[in-house]
Structure formats: C-alpha cells, structure tokens
Amino acid sequence: MYCTDDCPFCRRAEALLEKRGAPPEKIRLVDAQMWEEMERITGRNTVPQIFIGDRHVGGFDDLVELDMEGDLEGLLGA
C-alpha cells in the first residue's frame, strides 16, 4: 500500500485490512521521486493506493466497496 504518514484515508485503509487479517506492507511516499513512481504504476496521484498481491484495487473508497460487496475477503484469501 502506497501511503503517507499524515493521510487519514491511509490509516483507515490500514485499519480495515488489519481487521480482515491482512496488515498491509506500506510504502511510505517521502519524496517526489516516489510519488512519480506510484503515479506511473497506478495511474493515480492520491493515497492510499492499495495492491492485493499483484492486483491494484485502487484507493480507500475502492477498498471499502470491495469489502461491502463481499469480495475483499476472497481477494485476501487468494
């Protein structure tokens, strides 16, 4: 999960993943070069950007949507 230390959505995404038994591996964006790398990989410029395995699931709203639809646990178990 690409994140920053001061992002409330990053903390909420982390809490949801921990609740589902999958604490995220965090990549903290600390400089412009890291932001550019994240943007190149994800096509987005906001945090968090969450990956489950090799699959980019998007940001916090996307993660919550997966959870509400019942698809998150299946992805985490895969």
pLDDT (tens digit per residue) in 2-59: 999 999 999 999 999 999 999 999 999 999 999 999 999 999 999 999 999 999 999 9
How far apart CA 6 and CA 32 sit, in angstroms, is 16
How far apart CA 65 and CA 30 sit, in angstroms, is 28
Q: For residue 52, give the DSSP letter.
A: E
For the chain, which domains are there?
2-77 (3.40.30.10)
Quickly state the pLDDT bin for 77 (edges 50, 70, 90). confident
What are φ and ψ of residue 59, in 5° steps?
-100, -165
Confidence (pTM): 0.93
